[in-house]
Amino acid sequence: MQLRYVFTELRTGLRRNLSMHLAVIVTLFVSLSLAGIGILLQQEAKIARSTLGDELKILVNLCTQDDPSNSPNCGSGEVTDEQKQRIEQEIEDNPEVRSFRYVSKLEGFDNARKSGQIPDSAISGPNPVVTVEQWPQGYWVTLKDPNEADGISSALVGLDGVSGIKDQRKALGQIFGIMKVLKYGSWIGSAFLIFAALLQVTNTIRLAALARRREIAIMRLVGASTLYIALPFLLEALVTAIVGVGLAAGALAAFQYWGVERGLAEHVQFLPWVDWGDYFQSLVGFLPGIPGIVILGPLLTLVPTLLLTRKYVKV
């Protein structure tokens, strides 16, 4: 195969349809950036849920040796096994509860540390202010309905061994609500722009095929293979995809650095934030199911190109 011709045609094609290619690149850039932000927000919600629980959950803190709550339930000091059995029984029997999970001192401590509830200064040094032993055990209780937790709260709040009930539904509900709106907003915006990009790719190929119709007709007649005829089109699509993906990856990196690390993470410290590992995942995708922009970009240009060139250059 003479690739010299293919690359000459590629150069000519890119130059001839420069404005169309630029339009495709800009649309791809914006749509992929939005898709990437959507993926990052999805991941952010996942991280936040795994650390803080979600709006369906309440945390039942059990008494510690020197419980800071001064709750009358903690008169006997550290919660006993009998008290825990009683509490578990109460949770299990409550109709508002879907499921529950025991949280050890260590797990609770780790979660609090990750979510910024305990500052690093409090656990470092030879005499840390907060230790694992001081941290309360607890139960994550998952509700059937986030709006119905009064029964379980009132049933538990007076039980011996229960230090307090941390109901994060309101605060977390708002945060997750905002995340959901932003995530779906960016995905919807991205979907519209992806649709626009697809139309632009279609138009670009149609124009390119029209501009090359004489060459294509002769190539078909003299026996050039379909792949050879389609190759300049596919390479043009690939070039626009690479540029679009490159720009979107840059924009996402800027979002991660200035938006998350230097922005949100500094101002909202009680939430764990997506890191550079998540950024790279947004590029390559969270498998299974969510393709990253490195996959999405070429798919968006190559698939319509393949379909259309089959139509236009069919031998």
CA separation, residue 21 to residues 11, 151, 203, 204 (Å): 12, 61, 10, 7
230 touches other proteins by CB under 8 A: no
- How far apart are CB 239 and other proteins at their closest, in Å? 21
- Of residues 125 and 223, the one with the C-beta less far from other proteins: 223
- How far apart are CB 98 and other proteins at their closest, in Å? 57
Would you say 311 and 210 are in contact if contact means Cβ atoms under 8 Å apart? no
Would you say 130 and 122 are in contact if contact means Cβ atoms under 8 Å apart? yes
- Of residues 152 and 230, the one with the C-beta less far from other proteins: 230
Would you say 272 and 175 are in contact if contact means Cβ atoms under 8 Å apart? no
307 touches other proteins by CB under 8 A: no
DSSP 3-state of 214:
helix
Stretch that binds other proteins, among 161-169, 172-180, 225-233, 270-278 (CB under 8 A): 225-233
Stretch that binds other proteins, among 14-22, 154-162, 212-220, 257-265 (CB under 8 A): 212-220
Residues near other proteins (CB under 8 A), total = 20
226 touches other proteins by CB under 8 A: yes
Query: Applying CB under 8 A, which of residues 19, 81, 127, 222 lies at the interface with other proteins?
Result: 222
Tell me, what amino acid is at 195?
A: F
- How far apart are CB 48 and other proteins at their closest, in Å? 53
Query: Applying CB under 8 A, which of residues 224, 249, 260, 296 lies at the interface with other proteins?
Result: 224
Question: Look-up: residue for tokens 């190539």?
Answer: 219
129 touches other proteins by CB under 8 A: no
Maximum separation of any 2 CA atoms in the chain, in Å? 95
Could you tell me which residues are beta bridge partners of residue 101?
140
DSSP string, 241-264: HHHHHHHHHHHHHHIIIIIIIIII
Of the candidates 189, 204, 190, which has an alpha carbon nearest to the alpha carbon of residue 24? 204
181 touches other proteins by CB under 8 A: no
The full 3-state SS of 166-209, as one line of letters, equals EECHHHHHHHHHHHHHHHHHHHHHHHHHHHHHHHHHHHHHHHHH
Of the candidates 119, 113, 131, which has an alpha carbon nearest to the alpha carbon of residue 64? 131
215 touches other proteins by CB under 8 A: yes
- Of residues 21 and 212, the one with the C-beta less far from other proteins: 212
15 touches other proteins by CB under 8 A: no
210 touches other proteins by CB under 8 A: no
- Of residues 5 and 184, the one with the C-beta less far from other proteins: 5
- Of residues 2 and 121, the one with the C-beta less far from other proteins: 2
217 touches other proteins by CB under 8 A: yes
Binding site for other proteins (CB under 8 A): 1-2, 4-5, 214-215, 217-226, 228-229, 314-315
